[in-house]
């Protein structure tokens, strides 16, 4: 989600300060949070079943990792989003690196250029503003990112207008597809903003505590300003962070403005109502996150589960975020 800033949103700031790690303890409050997530059937949908639905009975997907560790250059577009080169049936294309996309996507134009055929698979996708659209699917015979090769990879088939604003039919973002969480969640990896690289890693050590809950969206267990456990997502396909209105119940958290904003999501540009909040604080492992003049927005990523906040890629500016999916752990470095 990219907010086209209007006057009321221009004062937003994000600060990240290193501190002592917060260890996630198996307390009754943590169990309540975990039960809240576990009750979401959509969050815990099995990836194999999602792929079977998209592939519509086609050949099974296969993952081949030719090197245990490798790096691929990243670049940022005009909207502050990460682009990565991906080989689609041996043709190089520019994809958005988007942890917030539950399922990877390819534009109809890119699919046609690369010889990908659509099938009868479908998936319903909801945007930041809450509008839903049913999209068809395609299967890519060979999708390659660095030393990772995915054979018979099911992907959502999107029009160019659904994932990028256009001018005379030309993408203004340079996005021809989306590398989403369905693929990224199978890896231990880093998004390194300082060096502009995407790194697949082989993590050898043991993590200090598990602060992620595995599922169809990167789900982080964090501490809020009252030092209570809270649920946050991380969306690298969004520059700016946002919070749920339901957490505005603290005397220190106040609305300072309301208004309309134009947002860019999976269905193109949409207008939605947003509020502005004075300040919100979270602790994510060893990082204190401070957001000034942060917007509210839709955080029920799944209809049966609402997050307290979704962090945009602003939290890793000149830093990197590491996801050890094999051990349910993440941290900012």
Contacts of 241 (CB under 8 A, 6+ apart): 14, 291, 294, 309, 310, 311, 312, 314, 315
Does pLDDT of 283 surpass 50? yes
Q: Where are the beta strands (DSSP E) in 98-240?
A: 105-107, 118-126, 132-145, 148-158, 166-167, 170-171, 177-179, 188-192, 197-200, 212-213, 219-224, 229-234
DSSP 8-class letter at 302: B
pLDDT attached to residue 59: 82
Contact criterion met (CB below 8 Å) for 48 and 322: no
State the Cα–Cα distance between residues 50 and 70, nearest whole angstrom: 28
Percent of the chain at pLDDT > 90 equals 65
Residue 68 above 70 pLDDT? yes
Provide the pLDDT for residue 49: 83
Cα–Cα distance for residue pair 217/220, rounded to 1 Å: 9
Q: What is the mean pLDDT of residues 192-197?
A: 99
Q: What is the pLDDT of residue 310?
A: 98
Dihedral angle of Cα 306, 292, 214, 159, to the nearest 10 degrees: 80
pLDDT of the residue at 174? 84
Q: Where are the domains of the chain?
A: 2-44+209-327, 47-200
Query: Hey, what CATH class is 47-200 in?
Result: mainly beta
Tens-digit pLDDT profile for residues 240-278: 999 999 888 766 788 888 877 666 555 556 677 788 999
Query: Rounded to an integer, what distance in angstroms lies between the CA atom of residue 187 and that of residue 331?
Result: 15
CA-based torsion, 51, 66, 144, 103: positive or negative? positive
**Burial call 222-250: b when 16+ CB within 10 Å, e when fewer:** bbbbeeebbbbbbbbbbbbbbbbeebeee
State yes or no: pLDDT of 184 exceeds 70: yes
- Whether the pLDDT of residue 3 is over 60: the answer is no
Q: Which residue has the tokens 């942890």?
A: 99
Topology match between the domains 2-44+209-327 and 47-200 = yes
The pair of three-digit structure tokens given for residue 175, joined into one six-digit string:
């996005």
- pLDDT tens for 11-49 read 899 999 999 999 999 999 999 999 999 999 888 888 888
DSSP string for residues in 244-271 = -GGG--STT--EEEEEEEEEEETTEEEE
- How far from each other are the two terminal CA atoms of the chain, in whole angstroms? 24
Would you state the pLDDT for residue 10?
A: 67
Question: Which of 313, 277, 294, 281 shows the shortest CA–CA distance to 5?
Answer: 294
Number of H helices, E strands in the chain: 5, 25
User: Which residues is 232 bridged to in the sheet?
Assistant: 220, 309
- Asked if 144 and 92 count as a contact pair (C-beta separation under 8 A), the reply is no
Which stretch, 3-17, 90-104, 156-170, has highest mean pLDDT? 90-104
> What does the alpha-carbon distance between residue 233 and residue 246 come to, in Å, rounded to a whole number?
16
Q: pTM value? A: 0.91
Residue 174: which of 101, 240, 75 has the closest Cα? 75
- Per-residue pLDDT tens digits for 81-119: 999 999 999 999 999 999 999 999 999 999 999 999 777
Please indicate whether residue 169 or residue 260 has the higher confidence score (pLDDT): 260
Q: Which CATH number fits domain 2-44+209-327: 3.30.70.520, 2.40.70.10, 2.70.98.10, 3.40.50.300?
A: 2.40.70.10
112: three-class secondary structure by DSSP: helix
Write down the residue that tokens 């309540």 correspond to: 32
How many C-beta atoms surround the C-beta of residue 33 within 10 A? 19
**Residue 5: pLDDT band with limits 50, 70, 90:** very low
Q: Is 119 helix (H, G, I), strand (E, B) or coil?
A: strand
């Amino acid at each position: 989600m990219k907010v086209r800033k209007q006057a009321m949103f221009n004062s937003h700031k994000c600060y990240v300060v290193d501190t002592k790690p917060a260890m996630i303890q198996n307390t009754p409050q943590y169990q309540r949070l975990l039960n809240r997530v576990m009750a979401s059937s959509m969050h815990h949908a099995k990836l194999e079943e999602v792929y079977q639905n998209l592939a519509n009975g086609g050949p099974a997907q296969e993952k081949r990792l030719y090197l245990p560790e490798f790096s691929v250059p990243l670049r940022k577009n005009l909207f502050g989003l990460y682009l990565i080169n991906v080989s689609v049936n041996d043709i190089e294309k520019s994809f958005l690196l988007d942890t917030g996309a539950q399922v990877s996507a390819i534009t109809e134009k890119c699919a046609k250029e690369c010889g990908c055929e659509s099938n009868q698979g479908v998936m319903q996708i909801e945007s930041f503003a809450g509008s839903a659209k049913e999209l068809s699917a395609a299967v890519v015979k060979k999708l390659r990112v660095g030393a990772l090769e995915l054979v018979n990879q099911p992907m959502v088939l999107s029009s160019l207008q659904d994932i990028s604003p256009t001018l005379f039919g030309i993408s203004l973002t340079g996005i021809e597809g989306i590398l989403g969480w369905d693929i990224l969640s199978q890896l231990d990896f880093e998004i390194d903003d300082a060096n502009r690289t995407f790194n697949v890693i082989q993590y050898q050590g043991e993590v200090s505590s598990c602060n992620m809950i595995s599922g169809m969206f990167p789900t982080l267990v964090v501490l809020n300003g009252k030092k209570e456990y809270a649920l946050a997502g991380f969306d690298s396909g969004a520059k700016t962070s946002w919070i749920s209105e339901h957490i505005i119940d603290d005397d220190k958290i106040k609305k300072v403005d309301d208004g309309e904003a134009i947002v860019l999501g999976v269905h193109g540009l949409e207008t939605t109502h947003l509020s502005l909040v004075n300040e919100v604080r979270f602790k994510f492992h060893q990082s204190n996150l401070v957001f000034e003049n942060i917007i509210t927005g839709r955080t029920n990523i799944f209809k049966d589960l609402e997050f307290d906040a979704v962090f945009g890629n602003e939290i890793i500016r000149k830093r990197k975020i590491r996801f050890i999916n094999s051990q349910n752990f993440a941290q900012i470095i």
